[in-house]
Amino acid sequence: MTIYSASKTYNISRKTLERRYKKDNDKKGPMEPSSMLGEQNEQKLVTYIKTMQSKGFPLCIDDVRTIAFYFVERRNISHRFNKITEKADPDNRLRKSEGVSLARSQALNRVEVHAYFQLLEQVLTDSDLMGKANCIFNMDESGLQLNNRPGYVLAEK
């Protein structure tokens, strides 16, 4: 197929195809610079953020920035983070957290309750607390503020 027919068929600029053909550049790379953490370390942080979210403790942006700073410091990874504030740069995505009363009204259904007890069983098993009732405590909700205005947290799309 000629460059001209390829540009018409796939609706791509002919000049772009010519330039890439002449430079033998048929790979599309990332538009931004690569992460200073590296793919594997970045995935570890993402997994931790998602784990905390799934257990009901979504992290706010300041938490993640602090965790990222200490993550690179402890692994001796060179970085451009602010050593005075001990935080990473603020370039993460944010979502508005829902208030407790809205979450409670939507959460009491068969699917959510079943998922809660599955998560509880997993946490008790992972923490080796399954047969140790004396190590499990209940909490009264009377001190919780139900109509709060929560801040922004990091969450999975």
132 three-state secondary structure? coil
Residue tagged 């079943």 (tokens): 114
Give me the residue spans of the domains in the chain: 39-133
Closest to 66 (Cα-Cα) out of 47, 88, 50, 46: 88
Residue 100 token pair: 């407790």
Placement of tokens 């602010």 in the chain: 82
Rounded CA separation 49/42 (Å): 11
Give the pLDDT score at 102.
59
Residues facing 87 on adjacent strands: 82
H or E segment at 95? strand 95-96
pTM higher than the cut 0.85: no
Per-residue pLDDT of the chain (157 residues; tens, 9 = 90+): 888 898 898 888 888 888 888 887 766 665 556 677 778 888 888 898 888 888 888 888 788 888 888 888 888 888 778 788 777 765 545 555 555 565 666 667 788 788 888 998 998 899 898 888 888 887 766 555 555 566 666 666 6
Residue 92 pLDDT: 47
- Backbone φ and ψ of 87, nearest 5°: -140, 150
